[in-house]
Amino acid sequence: MPDNSDLNQLKKRSVRGGVITLVSQAFTVIMQLASTVVLARMLTPDDYGVMGMVLSFVALAALFKDLGLSSAAIQKANLTTDQQTNLFWINALFGLLLSAIVAAAAPLVAWFYGRPELVAMTWILSLTFLFGGLSAQHNAMMVRNMHFGRQGIVNIAGIAVTFAVSVSLAWLGYGYLALAWGHVAGAAGRALLIWSFSPFVPGRWTRLAGTKDMVKFGANVTGFNIVNYFSRNLDNILIGKFVGADALGVYGRAYQLMLFPIQNLRGPIDAVAYPAMCRLKDRPEDWRRYHMQTLRVLAFLSMPLVAWMFLVSEPLILGLLGDKWAGVVPIFRILAIVGFIQPSASMIGSVMLSMGHTRRYFLQGAVVAAVLALAFGIGIRWGAEGVAWAYVAAVYVALVPLLANGYRHTALTVVDFFESVSLPAVISIVSLAISLLAQRYLSFSGFLAEIISLTLVYWVTFLALMIASPGGRGLLVDAASYARAAVFRRGPKPL
């Protein structure tokens, strides 16, 4: 059991790792946004729709490339080199197998959508599984050892390679194939860097290394990923099949924009929090405090950002992507309602995995998939916007039951969750309401002037309300304390 000095050291590593990861993620967001803007003006909604059709099916195979073994390696208390070597060979074998299976299934994908060009797209994207399988355990070792700086370099380099290859090929007239080859190039670049940075060097397969329990752990994680696939991709499949590639391209752009605050805030924070929570699992009260602090930070960062994106969505999207993407605006605003709560709610996965509750994790994923499948099946009658509204309804209806189930047999309660996120949520909503009211009485000379004006109104209101609130002042002080701790390597304020 770790002593207080171990806990303090873990907190310091978590804080610094979180800042490093967020900084690297900021560069990633900038490059992703630049890629979105540039490629949106070079390609068409149909090009993105074709890519989305293939990715919906490729994502199903992608569930097996890791087999949940990365999470198992991170969660394992005393991981041996022989155990991780065996996990590496399992991942590598399945990566090669998946590449072959996806390539062979290309004609079926093209037949399902009635688009012959999907065959070549599927063949190209099948290569990504080989790179993913070969680098899964090396990446897991970096996460386990909290080498977040190296991970940041890998992510930035991968996005940069994807961007460079996609833009170059789009400029040469390759159309939708530019997106596919960029995707593969980025996967290859990430794999090479991960191998270069990771201290793990695989050896030969070793019998009786004791990997059975980790494979079982990974099987439940994979089971969750399988059912989660349907909840995350069924909307794209239904829209692509019954509405068309143009509608899917528009929906996909809206969904990608909504994911920015989710992936680029929750992902880095979760990458830091999960290994730390695995180490604290035998200290319930410290574990609980750590998770609540993580929730507060995530809600403080994500909720006001999503509310601001909702406010400026029309001038921002039309100004960046152009008028041909006008259909993105209403769908994005609907999906932003999901994006407001989803980063915080999705942290329930780290709770269950860090405690080893993988069976419950899988079953909860199955329930979510069933609820979303039912909602999407109803919403598709009203097209892409109907699917988006169905997503909103399903997420908020299921929120409390899913939290209650995920926190069962842990030190956390549903009240803890809402206590952690309530202040950022209320202040973000009030700031948005005030800004929308001000928008009715302001006039703008162009989209840039509108973005700047609304941004000033919103963020000045948000900060004023935070400062005026006793709890808000405390949250700002805590954030500043942790920022100083990360920059100057001092111990953070106790949780």
What's the CA gap between 175 and 163, in Å, rounded?
14
Judge whether 156 lies within some domain.
yes
Q: Tell me how many degrees the CA angle 230-62-405 measures, rounded to the nearest 5.
A: 45
In a domain, 370, yes or no: yes
Domain range spanning residue 215?
A: 4-488
Q: Using an 8 Å Cβ cutoff, are 489 and 495 in contact?
A: no
Does 186 reside within a domain? yes
Residue 334 lies in a domain: yes
**Contact call for residues 368 and 403 (beta carbons, < 8 A):** no
Token pair belonging to 213? 């329990």
Is position 495 within any domain? no
Number of separate domains in the chain:
1
Segment holding 149, helix H or strand E: helix 148-171
pLDDT string in tens for the chain (495-residue length): 445 555 555 555 555 555 555 566 666 667 777 777 788 878 888 888 888 888 777 776 666 666 666 666 666 666 677 777 777 788 788 788 888 888 898 898 889 888 888 898 889 888 888 887 777 777 777 766 666 667 777 778 888 888 899 889 989 888 888 888 988 898 888 888 888 877 777 777 666 555 666 666 666 666 666 666 666 777 878 888 888 878 888 888 888 777 766 666 666 677 667 777 877 878 888 888 888 888 888 899 889 999 999 999 999 888 877 787 888 899 999 999 999 998 899 888 888 888 878 788 878 888 888 888 899 999 999 999 999 999 999 999 999 999 999 898 888 999 999 999 999 999 999 999 999 999 888 887 788 889 999 999 999 999 999 999 888 877 777 666 555 544 444 433 333
Closest residue by Cα to residue 406 from 417, 420, 421, 393: 417
- Non-local CB neighbours of 483 within 8 Å, separated by 6+ positions: 19
CA distance 366 to 373: 10
Q: What are all long-range contacts of 201-206, with beta carbons under 8 Å and residues at least 24 apart?
A: 202/84, 202/85, 202/88, 202/89, 202/137, 203/81, 203/82, 203/85, 204/85, 205/85, 205/86, 205/89, 206/82, 206/85, 206/86
Judge contact between 151 and 22, C-beta under 8 A: no
Q: Is residue 128 part of a domain?
A: yes
Overall pTM > 0.75: no
What CA–CA distance (Å, rounded) separates 159 from 26? Answer: 12
State the pLDDT at residue 60: 67
How many CB atoms within 10 Å of residue 387?
28
Residue 41 lies in a domain: yes
CA R_g for the chain: 22
Nearest residue to 132 via CA among 85, 191, 178: 191
How far is the C-alpha of 160 from the C-alpha of 330, rounded, in Å? 30
How far apart CA 95 and CA 65 sit, in angstroms, is 5
pLDDT at residue 64, as a whole number: 61
The whole-angstrom separation of Cα 228 and Cα 342 is 14
79 domain residue, yes or no: yes
pLDDT at position 492 is: 36
Structure token pair of residue 79:
């991981």
